[in-house]
C-alpha cells in the first residue's frame, strides 16, 4: 500500500465556500465495525463505511485472518465473522499501509489468539513507536519482536489463554485502551483498563452493542473499564456517522474564508470527539447544529458553518484528548484569529503520522505566520482575519492531516500555497479535493 509518485497540488484563494458537503464515514467507527463484525458469529451489515486506504487495510487484515468481507453494489458491506477465538493464521504479513489505528487495535486482537502475525507498513507508519501497546500486551502474554525503537516491521505471537490484567493508561490514548480491551475479548476473567483522562469511547460503545459484557465506572482515579473475556459477539447492522475529524477541515475553512456559508451533513457528535467544535466556538466560530439525532447509538447532526471573526484563546488542555487529530487544523484557525492562541497538552502529536507539532510549525512559518513551538503544542499569532502571506511549498511528510490542514490555510492566503504531495489524503478522505472544488464553485 505504498504511495506512488508525489502528487503536488497548488492551492489558490478563490473566494467563499458555499453549499452542502457530506464527509466520509467516521474512521474510528469504521475500523471497529469491521473488526468486531469479523469476530461475531453470523453476518453483519455496515452502511456508510469509510472507504479510505486505512480502513481498507483493516478489511484486508480481517480477511487474511478468516473473515468473509464483501462490498455490495448498494454500498453496504457484509461481514461474516469467525467468532471470538476463531481468528486464523494469516498466510503472509499484514500490510497496514499508513494506519496506526489498524496496527495497534489488530495487535490487541491477535495477542489473545493462538496465531502469529507480522505487521508491516509504509515509511510513515514504520517510523511510529508501538511501545505503548507492546508493553500491556506483553503483560497479557503476547510474545512481540519489534524493529529497533519498538517500530514496524513487528512480529506478534499471541497466547491462549492470555492473562487478564489491570492497566492504568500512562498517556491518554484510545488506541492503547482499545487494544487492551480487544485482547480481553478472548482472555478468561476480567481485563480492566483505568483511564485517568477520558478518550474517545467508540470501542466501549461498540463492544457493548455487539453483546460484550463491558462496564464503565467513574472513580477518583478515572474511568474504570472492565471487559469479561471469552465473549460471544452477535452480528449487527451498523450505520457509520460522518467523521468529525474529516468535517473539521470544512468547519475551519468556512470559518476563516470571508463570505463562506456551508452545511456539513451527518456529522458524528460523540462527546469524546467534539473538542474542536468547542474550541472554535470559544474563538467565536458560527457553528449551528441542525436536525440533531441519534444514529446507531451515536449522536449526529448537520452543521451549518458561516464565516466569523475569530479571537485567540488559550485552548483548555482538558479538551485535548477529544480533538487530538484536529490540532493541525486548529493551528490553521489560530493563524487567522485576532491575537495569540496557545494550544498545548498535545504531546501525542509528536508520534502521529508525522511529528505534527514540528511539521505544522514549519509549514505555518513558511507561509509567514508567527509561530512559537512548545514540547506539547504551539503558540500562534493570528492575522485578525486577514489573509496570511502564503507563497510556500509545504512538506506534508506523508501525513494526510497536514496536507488537508495546509490546504485550508491556502484558501485565504495572498500567494498560492503548494502541497508537495496530496496522495496520503486518500488514507482518510479520498474525495476531499473533489468536495473542495464543489464548495468553491457553489451550488449549481
Whether the CB-CB separation of 247 and 219 falls below 8 Å is answered with no
Read off the pLDDT of residues 288-310 as tens digits, 9 standing for 90 and up.
999 999 887 789 999 999 999 99
pLDDT (tens digit per residue) in 237-281: 999 999 999 999 999 999 999 999 999 999 999 998 999 999 999
Does 353 have pLDDT greater than 90?
no
Q: Is 100 labelled a binding residue? A: yes
Report how far residue 183's alpha carbon sits from residue 231's, in angstroms, rounded to the nearest whole number: 11
Residue 174 pLDDT: 93
Asked if 325 is an active-site residue, the reply is: yes
- Flag whether 306 is marked binding: no
pLDDT exceeds 90 at position 112: yes
pLDDT, tens only, 230-242:
999 999 999 999 9
Residue 27 assigned ligand-binding role: yes
Which is it for the CA torsion 51, 48, 428, 352, positive or negative? Answer: negative
In degrees, to the nearest 5, what angle opens at C-alpha 165 toward C-alphas 164 and 169?
140
Distance CA 413, CA 369 (A): 11
9-25+241-441 against 27-239: fold identical: yes
Residue 102 has pLDDT above 90, yes or no: yes
Q: What distance in Å separates the CA atoms of residue 256 and residue 410, rounded to the nearest whole number?
A: 11
**Is residue 173 marked as binding?**
yes
pLDDT tens, 127-186? Answer: 999 999 999 999 999 999 999 999 999 999 999 999 999 999 998 899 999 999 999 999
Edge-to-edge strand list for the sheet holding 190-195: 166-168, 190-195, 222-228, 214-219
* Residue 421: φ, ψ to 5°: -160, 110
Q: Dump pLDDT digits (tens) for 12-50.
A: 999 999 999 999 999 999 999 999 999 999 999 999 999
Label residue 2 by pLDDT band (50, 70, 90). very low
| Whole-angstrom distance, CA of residue 387 vs CA of residue 116 | 53
Query: Which CATH code for domain 9-25+241-441?
Result: 3.65.10.10
Of 325, 399, 420, 421, catalytic: 325
The pLDDT, as a whole number, for residue 124 is 87
For residue 1, name the pLDDT band (cuts at 50, 70, 90): very low
What residues does each domain of the chain span? 9-25+241-441, 27-239
What is the C-alpha separation between 19 and 305, in angstroms, rounded?
Answer: 10
Beta strands in 67-159 (DSSP E): 68-71, 77-80, 94-95, 116-120, 143-147, 151-157
As a whole number, mean pLDDT of residues 61-80 equals 98
Residue indicated by cell numbers 512559518: 365
* Domain 27-239 annotated CATH 3.65.10.10: yes
Amino acid at each position: 500500500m505504498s504511495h506512488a509518485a508525489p502528487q503536488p497540488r497548488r492551492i489558490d484563494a478563490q473566494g467563499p465556500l458555499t453549499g452542502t458537503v457530506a464527509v466520509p464515514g467516521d474512521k474510528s467507527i469504521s475500523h471497529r465495525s469491521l473488526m468486531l463484525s469479523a469476530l461475531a458469529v453470523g453476518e453483519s451489515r455496515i452502511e456508510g463505511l469509510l472507504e479510505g486506504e486505512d480502513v481498507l487495510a483493516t478489511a484486508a487484515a480481517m480477511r487474511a485472518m478468516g473473515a468473509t468481507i464483501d462490498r455490495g453494489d448498494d454500498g453496504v458491506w457484509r461481514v461474516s465473522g469467525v467468532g471470538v477465538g476463531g481468528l486464523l493464521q494469516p498466510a503472509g504479513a499484514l500490510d497496514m499501509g499508513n494506519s496506526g489505528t489498524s496496527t495497534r487495535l489488530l495487535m490487541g486482537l491477535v495477542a489473545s489468539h493462538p496465531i502469529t502475525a507480522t505487521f508491516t507498513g509504509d515509511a510513515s507508519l514504520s517510523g511510529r513507536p508501538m511501545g505503548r501497546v507492546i508493553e500491556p500486551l506483553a503483560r497479557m502474554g503476547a510474545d512481540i519482536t519489534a524493529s529497533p525503537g519498538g517500530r514496524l516491521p513487528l512480529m506478534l505471537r499471541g497466547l491462549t489463554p492470555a492473562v487478564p490484567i489491570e492497566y492504568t493508561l500512562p498517556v491518554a490514548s484510545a488506541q492503547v485502551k482499545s487494544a487492551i480491551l480487544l485482547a480481553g475479548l478472548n482472555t478468561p476473567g476480567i481485563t480492566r483498563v483505568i483511564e485517568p483522562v477520558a478518550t474517545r469511547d467508540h470501542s466501549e460503545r461498540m463492544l457493548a452493542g455487539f453483546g460484550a459484557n463491558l462496564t464503565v465506572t467513574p472513580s477518583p482515579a478515572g474511568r474504570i473499564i472492565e471487559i469479561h473475556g471469552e465473549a460471544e459477539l452477535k452480528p449487527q447492522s451498523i450505520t457509520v456517522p460522518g467523521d468529525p475529524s474529516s468535517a473539521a477541515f470544512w468547519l475551519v475553512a468556512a470559518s476563516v474564508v470571508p463570505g463562506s456559508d456551508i452545511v456539513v451533513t451527518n456529522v458524528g457528535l460523540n462527546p469524546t470527539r467534539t473538542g474542536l467544535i468547542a474550541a472554535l466556538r470559544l474563538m467565536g466560530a458560527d457553528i449551528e447544529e441542525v436536525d440533531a439525532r441519534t444514529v446507531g447509538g451515536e449522536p449526529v447532526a448537520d452543521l451549518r458553518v458561516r464565516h466569523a471573526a475569530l479571537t485567540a484563546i488559550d485552548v483548555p488542555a482538558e479538551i485535548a484528548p477529544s480533538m487530538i487529530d484536529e490540532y493541525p487544523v486548529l493551528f490553521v484557525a489560530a493563524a487567522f484569529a485576532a491575537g495569540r492562541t496557545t494550544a498545548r497538552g498535545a504531546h501525542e502529536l509528536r508520534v502521529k503520522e508525522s511529528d505534527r507539532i514540528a511539521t505544522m510549525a514549519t509549514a505555518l512559518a513558511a507561509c509567514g505566520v508567527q509561530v512559537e513551538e512548545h514540547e506539547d503544542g504551539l503558540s500562534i499569532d493570528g492575522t485578525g482575519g486577514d489573509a496570511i502571506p502564503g507563497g510556500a511549498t509545504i512538506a506534508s511528510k506523508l501525513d494526510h492531516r497536514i496536507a488537508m490542514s495546509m490546504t485550508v490555510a491556502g484558501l485565504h492566503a495572498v500567494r498560492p500555497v503548494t502541497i508537495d504531495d496530496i496522495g496520503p489524503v486518500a488514507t482518510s478522505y479520498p474525495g476531499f479535493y473533489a468536495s473542495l472544488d464543489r464548495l468553491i464553485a457553489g451550488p449549481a
